[in-house]
Amino acid sequence: MSIESWFYLILICLMGASSPGPSLIVILRHAVADGRNAGINAAVGHGIGIFIYALVSAIGLSFILTSFPKIFSLVQIFGGIFLLWIGFQVLRGGMSKRDLPNFGEDKTSIERTTLNHFRDGFGIAILNPKILAFFSSLFSQFLSAEQSFSIHMLMAIIAGFIDVSVYVIIVFLVTLNSLLEFYRKKIFLFEIAFGLCLILLGFSIFVVNFSLTNLG
């Protein structure tokens, strides 16, 4: 993979982790209700779930690429359509300036353990099939037949590491009341940027496939 491809992959993973969704809500609720360490534990669990899905996506797509190259081209096209759909959905959410819910009022009296926090973070990731579809669509644009397993492993590690890092940073921000309100009001900007990047990537897939078809 080129430096530009790695950069774009990292950028998409960063924006994906920063975008609001059920995973963010679960992790923030743990942080607000049970403290900073609870949020970090949930973030680590979520990152491991992301790593597993990312690795499964890379390995599965690599097998299709080497065994059924024509089918892989179709996977790329459908992946582009899926990325476009996600991009427009995220962009629409960002344009509506959707705010984060007020987590501070949801104080629970149920005592949770470190394992509970980790389990909830892992569960919200591993039980969401859209994450597998997302990584399958994303990675299909960066894989090639000559890539080794170590490249696929590195892609998955990067995805998991970025996910944990972003959520840990958000947990720290949430536990600093002075920064929470700023994050709540500016989160729609992350959604708009993330949506535009996905739309751009989706369109580029069709441009590349159309160019290759004409050359053929």
> How does DSSP classify residue 112?
-
Q: Is the pTM of this model over 0.85?
A: no
> Percent of the chain beyond pLDDT 90?
12
Helices (H), 140-176: 149-174
CB of 107 within 8 A of CB of 31? no
pLDDT digits (tens, 9 = 90+) for 96-114: 655 555 544 444 434 467 7
Give the model's confidence band at 129: pLDDT under 50 very low, under 70 low, under 90 confident, else very high: low
Are 33 and 171 a contacting pair, CB within 8 Å? no
- What pLDDT, on the 0 to 100 scale, is given for residue 165? 93
Which pLDDT tens digit goes with each residue over 114-125? 788 898 889 888
Residue 107 confidence (pLDDT): 44
Kindly report, residue by residue over 71-94, the tens digit of the pLDDT. 766 766 776 776 677 677 767 766
* Chain centre to alpha carbon of residue 167: 11
Query: Per-residue pLDDT for 179 more than 50?
Result: yes
